[in-house]
């Protein structure tokens, strides 16, 4: 098993919900990446004979990315392409947005998108998907979407990390200028008829998407990976000491087939597994 050290990713919309867990360094934290395993970005292993090594150097590329996302303000209106560049993503809302909704899809799918963008009235045509605490949302590639202020979510992604921004509220970036938009690429990539799909986890029952599955588990004292592939357990609440490492909220442990965890005090966690 591999207990992973989270990666801190700061953003202009990042919040402070995790300060109580990780201290002042969590101020402005947009993504707490509990699992990233590419040649460019990789968690460090905290336990066992590979302690101190990058996960990527031990197991190679892994297709899933898992994070806690803390949105103190709205994210940009964006879209991920389909085809060979597709990215699939899902959110479990630990806390619903302050407004009660996220942006997802278009209110008038047959409207000419280019004219909407040129008229600078895109928000008038973006659909609102209403959210409650504990709901699960899936975003297919080519869906226009954005998390909104107050959202605190478990996020799982699989696929290419390509994001095209349609609109960003005229916010300044690090250089005090409005952040770059990719309007032409976004317009070519989006499908105006798509919107987020919502559901609720049933205890221990998996939600299966095209490239990954997840399960929400509560009051966990024991868990065994009975699948033939890696499984990723991400702590959402409660406590666990795994292989002498104290697990904090948002941390992930990767279990190999037949590995088991005992004497847990996990109030809530999500198990994820790649299907590709």
With a CB cutoff of 8 Å and minimum separation 6, the contacts of 80 are 86, 87, 89, 139, 141, 142, 143, 159, 160, 162, 163, 164, 189
| pLDDT at position 15 | 97
| pLDDT at position 119 | 56
| pLDDT at position 273 | 98
Residue 113, CA distances (Å) to 76, 122, 191, 197 in order = 17, 9, 10, 22
**How many other CB atoms are there within 10 angstroms of residue 103's CB atom?**
26
Q: What domains are defined for the chain?
A: 2-200 (2.60.120.10), 207-274 (2.60.120.1030)
Predicted confidence pLDDT, tens digits, the chain (276 residues): 999 999 999 999 999 999 999 999 999 999 999 999 999 999 999 999 999 999 999 999 999 999 999 999 999 999 999 999 999 999 999 999 999 999 999 988 877 777 777 656 788 889 999 999 999 999 999 999 999 999 999 999 999 888 999 999 888 877 777 788 888 898 889 999 999 999 999 988 999 999 999 999 999 999 999 999 999 999 999 989 999 999 999 999 999 999 999 999 999 999 999 999
């Amino acid at each position: 098993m591999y207990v992973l050290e989270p990666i801190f990713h700061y953003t202009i919309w990042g919040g402070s919900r995790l300060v109580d867990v990780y201290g002042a360094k969590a101020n402005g934290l947009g993504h707490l990446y509990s699992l990233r395993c590419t040649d460019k970005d990789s968690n460090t292993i905290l336990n066992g004979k590979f302690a101190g090594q990058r996960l990527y150097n031990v197991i190679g590329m892994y297709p899933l990315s898992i994070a806690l996302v803390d949105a103190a303000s709205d994210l940009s209106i964006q879209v991920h392409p389909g085809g060979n560049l597709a990215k699939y993503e899902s959110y479990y809302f630990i806390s619903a947005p302050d407004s009660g909704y996220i942006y997802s899809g278009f209110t008038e799918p047959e409207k000419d998108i280019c004219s909407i963008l040129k008229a600078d009235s895109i928000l008038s045509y973006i659909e609102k998907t209403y959210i409650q605490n504990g709901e699960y949302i899936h975003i297919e590639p080519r869906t226009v979407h954005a998390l909104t202020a107050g959202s605190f979510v478990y996020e799982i992604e699989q696929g290419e990390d390509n994001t095209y921004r349609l609109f960003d509220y005229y916010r300044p970036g690090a250089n005090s200028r409005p952040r770059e938009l990719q309007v032409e690429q976004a317009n070519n990539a989006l499908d105006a008829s798509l919107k987020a799909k919502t559901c609720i986890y049933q205890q221990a029952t998996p939600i299966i998407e095209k490239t990954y599955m997840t399960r929400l588990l509560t009051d966990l004292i024991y868990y065994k990976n009975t699948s033939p592939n890696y499984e990723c357990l991400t702590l959402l609440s409660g406590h666990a000491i795994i292989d002498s490492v104290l697990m904090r909220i948002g941390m992930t442990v990767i279990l190999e087939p037949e590995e088991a965890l005992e004497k847990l005090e996990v109030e809530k966690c999500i198990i994820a597994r790649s299907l590709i």
